[in-house]
Structure 1
Amino acid sequence: MLRLVVSESSSLPVPAEAVYRVSDPYAVQMTFHTGAEETVQWVFSRELLTGGVRTPVGTGDVRVWPSMTGKGTVCIALSSPEGEALMQAPAGAFQAFLRATHKAVPPGTERKHVNVDAAFPDSPPPPVDSPQRKNNNA
């Protein structure tokens, strides 16, 4: 459960779900349930979220930082052509989720989990004389 900050003294609960897939090791997908049947999905860099737990990060549509009030909260500012939102997440739950992602795919090893052939299915096969092709025929 996250909180949507409406004003300095008011916020609303927003159910959210974070998903991490080993097959897409650089990203975290978050789905925010904004109404009975409505959801909004954002995809975040795992590295950005990890850094934002400790220090302010991000300069574009997504910014993440630890709360300066000491309430054990991580702040996530989202900006899009449709509007802006400031979300607050419990730091402990956020950190536990990120630790689980780091256990599944340790930072720095993401490239080992990317299947380039699946990511780019329409790419042509390597040339016949390429080392990759020779290894496949050996």
Structure 2
Amino acid sequence: MTQPFPSAAETSVTHEVVAHIAVADEPPVSLPAELRYDRSDPYAVCLSLGTTSTGTVEWVFARSLLSEGMRRPTGVGDVLVIPRHGCQRHSVRIVVRSPAGAAVLDIAASAVTAFLERARMVVPPGAEGQYIDIDRVVAELLAGGE
């Protein structure tokens, strides 16, 4: 269940949202989704689509990309974030691309704003470097070379 604000002891945030998804040659559908943020990876957010029973698809991208995309179109490559004003309701459009194709997701701007506010309480923007476990990062990099 989504809580309005994390407690001082919380190190992560999960926010349930509804994503309206359009994929080429398919009718649009609405799916349950989650936005997640964790202090252990302070620069990233995760967008998870679907349910455990139907299967989930996840994208991980910069929290700053999501935040900036609330104000102006931003991003290059696999993830673009675009604010949408003037439609029936304000939303944030997230375009995700992979070699298999692309999908366009619309999420209510109010839900994304609430998520970002909660994430800011866990790690304020600009303070992310204080939460990086350098020893863990180096160990993961060295293990990847084996």
The TM-score with structure 2 as length reference comes to 0.76
Q: Which runs of 4+ in 1 moved over 6 A?
A: none
- Greater relative contact order, per chain length (Cα 8 Å cut-off, separation 6+): 2
Cα RMSD of the aligned pairs, angstroms, is 2.1
SS at match of 2:29: strand
Q: Relative to 1, partners in 2 of residues 1:114 and 1:75: Cα closer, same or farther, differing over 3 Å?
A: same
Bigger Rg, which one? 1
Inter-partner Cα distance in structure 1 for 2:81 and 2:133:
29
Gaps of 5+ in 1: 125-138
Inter-partner Cα distance in structure 2 for 1:19 and 1:78:
17
SS at match of 1:15: strand
1:68-107 mapped onto 2 (5 Å cutoff):
68-70=85-87, 71-107=89-125
Deviation at 1:122, TM superposition (A): 5.9
Gaps of 5+ in 2: 1-17
**Kindly, what percent of the aligned residue pairs are identical?**
38
Inter-partner Cα distance in structure 1 for 2:37 and 2:28:
27
- When you count strand as a share of all residues, which structure comes out higher? 2
Given that 1:34 and 1:40 are in contact with CA atoms closer than 8 Å, whether structure 2 keeps it comes out as no
The TM-score with structure 1 as length reference comes to 0.80
